[in-house]
Amino acid sequence: MQTKGELTRERIIREATYLVSRKGLGDTSISDIISATGLKKGSLYFHFSGKDALSLAILEKSRDEFMIFLDFSLVGNTPGECLNNFFEEVMNLHKNAGFAGGCIFGNTALEMSDKNKEVSVFIEGVFAEWTKKIQKVVKSAQALRQVRDDISAGILARNIIAGIEGGIMLARLGKNEKQLRDCLKSIKMLIELKIRTG
Amino acid sequence: MQTKGELTRERIIREATYLVSRKGLGDTSISDIISATGLKKGSLYFHFSGKDALSLAILEKSRDEFMIFLDFSLVGNTPGECLNNFFEEVMNLHKNAGFAGGCIFGNTALEMSDKNKEVSVFIEGVFAEWTKKIQKVVKSAQALRQVRDDISAGILARNIIAGIEGGIMLARLGKNEKQLRDCLKSIKMLIELKIRTG
């Protein structure tokens, strides 16, 4: 069972994550978070020494959830099917969110790359972990001729992730699923994805 | 000859653009711009009614410059060579900037998509114009068999732009040109770009 303190800490992170996904990290103030949670200032500072500590806690929690999302969406009977399901789940995730919020790592990357070294390094790590997971499945898919094998799995994985981030960017602008759908479709065509073997 | 007022207006936009590219639109205040230009508050408000008007002026100026960049970089003896030069110039642009700042349209897209409708619509327009220019060259390249023609020029153009935006995002995080170079390389391989005909 979680202690009351742990529950409060989680609630702060949850509310703060929501605000950051809508307003950006720079634009979300400690007072915004206090208003959203209804907590007293002292209670928030009991859990987090300041905005930097809270920011990293938000990103860590988001990373953990995203890695779970990856493990649950990169599934299927063949590696090609795993990739296809992953693309579908990316689409569903953003569609269900009404194309609001986008990708917290992409958003924070663009917002903080030139401002906060610690945050940049953390997000680089998330993208590296994401790339590694995709690369592993692409490699298996290549071995079964479900993905083209004339380009290395690492390069394909990076292109998939860059294309998804760009697609989310375009879809969010117009709250239009077509933009992300087209990006995902073109990624599949470009990597020559086949779901079945043979 | 430009009047003193026009020169002041341009200087405000130039300094404000620099700040926005480093700090983001939301985080750049009117006082920051006043400090950067050394102007009096009244002088700034003489040229711009407020932050919204200035923001749009920054984006318009950036769009005009970007369209000139596109026209000057999408050049070559064949459409394939045009695309190849464009990719090179994208790389040079961001390398020369030390991978700081990134793409003002991508940054502002992620920052403002859920916050400012007018800005979102404007940036959608920039991406649409960019897509159209690339699509036109891709179409010509397809006719000469310099780009694969089993995927429509529109889808390829969108994938190119999404991939570039994603690549800039990854390169900025680590101030590492390899990330953008790999993205551009994989785009070229995936669209099967040939520089020469036949």
Closest-CA distance of chain A to residue B127, Å:
8
Cβ–Cβ of B173/A26 closer than 8 Å? no
Closest-CA distance of chain B to residue A145, Å:
16
Substitution target from B122, B168, B170, B187 for chain A, most A beta carbons within 10 A: B170
* Six token digits for residue B122: 């404007």
In this complex, the residue of B102, B156, B162 whose CB is nearest that of residue A170 is: B162
Describe the crossing of helices B177-190 and B153-174 by its angle, rounded to 10 degrees.
160
Instruction: Output the pLDDT for position A23.
Output: 83
Q: Is residue B132 less than 8 Å (CB to CB) from chain A?
A: no
Distances (CA, A) of B80 to B74, B122, B136, B185: 10, 30, 12, 14
- Kindly tell me if the per-residue pLDDT of B44 is higher than 70: yes
- Kindly tell me if the per-residue pLDDT of B118 is higher than 60: yes
**Sequence-distant (≥ 6) Cβ neighbours of residue B168 within 8 angstroms:** B94, B102, B103, B106, B180
- Kindly tell me if the per-residue pLDDT of B198 is higher than 90: no
The pTM of the full predicted model, rounded to 2 decimals, is 0.89
Q: How many Å apart are CA A167 and CA A161, to the nearest integer? A: 10
Cβ–Cβ of B155/A189 closer than 8 Å? yes
Cβ–Cβ of A102/B113 closer than 8 Å? yes
Higher-confidence residue: A61 or B22? A61
Give B116's pLDDT tier (boundaries 50, 70, 90): confident
Q: Which structural domains are found in chain B, ordered by start?
A: 60-190 (1.10.357.10)
Residue-averaged pLDDT of chain A? 92
Summarised one tens digit per residue, pLDDT across range B150-173 is 889 998 999 899 999 999 999 998
Tell me if B12 sits within 8 A of B48, measured CB to CB.
yes
Which ipTM value was assigned to this complex? 0.85
Cβ–Cβ of A113/B102 closer than 8 Å? yes
CB contact residues (below 8 A), chain B span 87-106, against chain A: 100-102, 106
Instruction: Output the pLDDT for position B101.
Output: 87
Instruction: Output the pLDDT for position B24.
Output: 84
Summarised one tens digit per residue, pLDDT across range A98-117 is 888 889 999 999 888 888 88
Instruction: Output the pLDDT for position B114.
Output: 83
Cβ–Cβ of B110/A169 closer than 8 Å? yes
Instruction: Output the pLDDT for position B92.
Output: 95
Q: Is residue B177 less than 8 Å (CB to CB) from chain A?
A: no
- Kindly tell me if the per-residue pLDDT of A138 is higher than 90: yes
User: How many Cα atoms are found within 13 Å in the side-chain-facing hemisphere of A87?
Assistant: 25
* Residue appearing with tokens 């390829």: B156
Closest-CA distance of chain B to residue A163, Å:
5
Cβ–Cβ of A155/B27 closer than 8 Å? no
Contacts of A189 in chain B (CB under 8 A): 150-151, 155
Contacts of B128 in chain A (CB under 8 A): none
Closest-CA distance of chain A to residue B33, Å:
18
Give A197's pLDDT tier (boundaries 50, 70, 90): low
